[in-house]
Each structure stands twice: as structure tokens, then as C-alpha cells.
């Protein structure tokens, strides 16, 4: 055997041994890729040994060429086997770490809901919309003309005093935060032609000490019906229908004489306690009845104020506290809860909008 032949043969065997060693030493896929370049690349020992094939005679070249091919495929096989092992291992790890248990409950994204007071307003408004009423709104910052004068409330009335009503700085007692929704009665009468059937929800403000039944900022809902031939019977029938829809079909209502400057006669309406049905309990404070609103026949003074014919038109009006209605309907013991934005409270009122 010539020296050249044994040199090539030795180079090839060395390339095989070194190649297999490098492959064996690779600890992960990245290292294996690098080893592949070093053992099969253009500058690898195998490539060098192949290029020395030209130094041997033609009679030996064929056998050495076959040996070179055999070395190459043994290296390639070793690479492939090792790659398969790594890939299988990697897949196994991904199975372990990325496994998803599709039977676990999903993470529900937080979903908002309608505030219980808004919901209560919608419920009350719905009852009256069903009786042909329309929805009206008025400003929360209101002229005393609308809040008091047009409502027949004299200058010396305690509700007008700055210790009861918030006035706007620089406007004396001419402009303030409305203390009830009744001024919307006047605004509606002013802008509409007779007849008028309207409900008017909105925010009101009073300089009140806050407790379980009083808030400095609260919500009222006003109602007004003015038409030809409206009587107190219409008032009672309409409000009975409202109370039964809201609190229970089999409940009775009663009217107690009262005084409001803008109605004559005036009354407060009680609904039979829906817990004890009249026997007396904690909810109705042993009364058997629960006061839910103020009402009365629209005083002709209001109709004259807006220039409506008081011989032709009569009407009734009512006003209720929305927090109070909501608290009664849902058994909420303190109306401040409606304004604390506590999700433990608010999420209890979730439901279809």
C-alpha cells in the first residue's frame, strides 16, 4: 500500500472518530447543529480527507471513495439519531410543561352590569311607559324660579333656606342644586302642549346629615299627568298599578292626607308591607304599611304659571325616592350602600339588562 493511500485511509478514519466524538459530546440541539458544521462542513476533517483523494492513483481511488462515502453516512446517521433523541426529549418536555387541562373552568373576564339604581329607574319608568307616559329630564343645577316659585313654595319656606338647599356661589339664592325633581314638572308643562303624561327621574341634592335613609345626593322620580277630566281616582288607580307591579300584585295601597305646596289635595301613599302584609314587622317598623311616595292633584297655580286653561285641565303628580324604592324592593337595609361602589354589593344585582 502506498503512503498516499494509507494517509487518506488514516485521514478518513480519523475524521470518522473525531466526528462521532463531537456528535457524542453535543449536549443539546444547538450544540448538535454546531457539531454538524464542524464534522460535515467544507473545512471539516472529512472534507479535507476527501480532497486528498486526488493524490492517490486511479486504481485505489474507487475503494477510498467508497470508504469516504461510508464514513460520511456513518457520521450522518449518528447526527440523525442524536437529533431524533433530542427532538423526542424536547417534545416530551413541552408535553409536560404546556399541557392544558381543558376540563378546568375558564377564567371569566370581569363583566360590568347595570347599577341597581339605574335598573330601578328603568323598572319604574317601564311601568309608566306601559301606561302611555313619556320620559322627561331637567337640569340638576336649577333656577329657584323652577325649584320653588313656580311650585308655589313661599320665600320663607324652610326648604328654600341655605341650610337645606345648596346654592351656587355668586348667584345668591337664585340658582341652586335642585332638592327635588318637581321643577321638571314646570319645564315639561312649559315645553309641551296638553295633554302631558310624563315621568322624570334624576339626581337631587339636599344639605342633609347622611344616614341609613338620607343622602346629600340622591335620586327621585317625578310623575305628572295633566289632561281633561283627570281625577283623584286616576291618581289612585295609576299609583296602585305601579305599586303592585313593583312590590307585589296582591298588595293594597292607602293614601294619607298630607301637605305639599304644589298639590291640592295632597297625600302620601303607603303600600302594604310586602313582608308581613299588614301584621307589623321589622321592615315596616310595626306599622304594617310602608310610605313610598308623595302625591296630589296638581295645584291650578302651576297650570296658570304656564298659561294652561285651569277650567279645562286638571292633573295629578307624584314624587318618590328611587333609593328608597330600590332598598325596599331588594331588602337593602341602608341606602348608602347604593353609593359606595362596593362590588360585593353591586354584583348581587347582576342580571339581564
175-177 and 141-143: which strand pairing? antiparallel
Among 294, 313, 315, 337, which residue sits at the site for ligand DAH (rule: CB under 6 A)?
Answer: 294
Among 142, 222, 270, 323, which residue sits at the site for ligand DAH (rule: CB under 6 A)?
Answer: 222
Q: Cβ 268 to ligand DAH, closest distance in Å? A: 8
Binding range to ligand DAH, per CB under 6 A, among 94-102, 140-148, 230-238, 312-320: 312-320
In the sheet with 263-272, reading across from the earlier edge strand, the strands are 134-135, 196-205, 217-228, 313-321, 289-298, 263-272, 253-260
Among 296, 302, 332, 335, which residue sits at the site for ligand DAH (rule: CB under 6 A)?
Answer: 296
| Rounded Cα distance, 353 and 345, in Å | 17
Cell of 142: 336649577
Nearer to ligand DAH, 12 or 295 (CB): 295
Among 242, 260, 308, 337, which residue sits at the site for ligand DAH (rule: CB under 6 A)?
Answer: 260
Residue ranges with strand state E in 40-195? 134-135, 141-143, 175-177
Complete DSSP assignment for 8-71: HHHHHHHHHHHHHHHHHH--SHHHHHHHHHHHHSTTSHHHHHHHGGGGS-HHHHHHHHHHHHHH
- Omega prior to 195 cis, within 30 of 0: yes
Q: Is 25 left (phi over 0), alpha (psi -120 to 50) or beta?
A: alpha
| Rounded Cα distance, 207 and 220, in Å | 16
Binding range to ligand DAH, per CB under 6 A, among 22-30, 311-319, 327-335, 344-352: 311-319
Residue closest to ligand DAH, measured at CB: 319
138 binds ligand DAH (CB under 6 A): no
Nearer to ligand DAH, 188 or 263 (CB): 263
Among 23, 26, 186, 295, which residue sits at the site for ligand DAH (rule: CB under 6 A)?
Answer: 295
Q: Cβ 181 to ligand DAH, closest distance in Å? A: 7
270 binds ligand DAH (CB under 6 A): no
Nearer to ligand DAH, 49 or 221 (CB): 221
How many residues belong to the site for ligand DAH (CB under 6 A)? 11
Binding range to ligand DAH, per CB under 6 A, among 102-110, 116-124, 190-198, 288-296: 288-296
Distances (CA, A) of 8 to 48, 56, 67, 179: 9, 8, 10, 107
Beta bridge partners of 269: 255, 293
DSSP label at 320?
E
**Which residues contact ligand DAH by CB under 6 A?**
180, 182, 222, 260, 263, 294-296, 317-319
Amino acid at each position: 500500500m502506498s503512503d498516499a493511500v494509507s494517509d487518506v485511509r488514516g485521514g478518513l478514519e480519523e475524521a470518522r472518530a473525531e466526528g462521532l466524538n463531537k456528535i457524542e459530546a453535543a449536549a443539546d440541539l444547538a450544540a448538535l447543529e454546531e457539531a454538524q458544521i464542524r464534522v460535515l462542513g467544507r473545512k471539516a476533517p472529512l472534507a479535507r480527507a476527501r480532497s486528498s483523494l486526488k493524490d492517490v492513483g486511479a486504481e485505489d481511488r474507487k475503494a477510498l471513495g467508497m470508504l469516504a462515502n461510508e464514513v460520511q453516512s456513518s457520521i450522518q446517521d449518528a447526527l440523525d439519531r442524536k437529533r431524533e433523541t433530542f427532538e423526542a426529549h424536547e417534545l416530551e418536555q413541552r408535553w409536560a410543561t404546556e399541557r392544558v387541562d381543558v376540563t378546568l373552568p375558564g377564567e371569566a373576564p370581569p363583566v360590568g352590569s347595570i347599577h341597581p339604581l339605574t335598573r330601578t329607574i328603568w323598572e319604574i319608568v317601564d311601568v309608566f311607559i306601559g301606561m302611555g307616559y313619556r320620559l322627561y329630564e331637567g337640569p340638576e343645577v336649577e333656577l329657584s324660579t323652577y325649584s320653588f316659585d313656580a311650585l308655589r313654595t313661599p320665600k320663607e319656606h324652610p326648604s328654600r333656606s341655605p341650610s337645606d338647599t345648596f346654592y351656587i356661589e355668586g348667584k345668591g339664592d337664585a340658582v341652586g342644586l335642585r332638592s327635588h325633581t318637581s321643577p321638571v314638572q314646570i319645564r315639561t308643562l312649559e315645553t309641551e302642549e296638553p295633554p302631558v303624561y310624563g315621568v322624570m327621574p334624576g339626581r337631587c341634592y339636599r344639605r342633609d346629615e347622611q344616614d341609613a335613609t338620607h343622602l346629600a345626593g340622591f335620586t327621585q322620580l317625578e310623575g305628572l299627568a295633566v289632561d281633561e277630566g283627570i281625577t283623584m281616582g286616576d291618581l289612585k288607580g295609576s299609583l296602585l298599578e305601579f305599586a303592585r307591579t313593583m312590590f307585589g300584585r296582591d298588595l293594597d295601597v292607602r293614601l294619607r292626607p298630607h301637605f305639599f305646596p304644589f298639590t291640592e289635595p295632597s297625600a302620601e301613599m303607603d303600600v302594604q308591607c310586602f313582608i308581613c302584609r299588614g301584621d307589623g314587622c321589622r321592615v315596616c317598623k310595626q306599622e304594617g304599611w310602608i310610605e313610598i311616595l308623595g302625591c296630589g292633584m296638581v295645584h291650578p297655580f302651576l297650570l296658570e304659571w304656564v298659561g294652561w286653561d285651569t277650567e279645562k285641565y286638571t292633573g295629578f303628580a307624584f314624587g318618590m325616592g328611587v333609593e328608597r324604592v330600590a332598598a325596599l324592593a331588594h331588602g337593602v337595609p341602608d341606602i348608602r350602600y347604593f353609593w359606595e361602589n362596593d362590588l360585593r354589593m353591586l354584583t348581587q344585582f347582576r342580571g339581564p339588562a
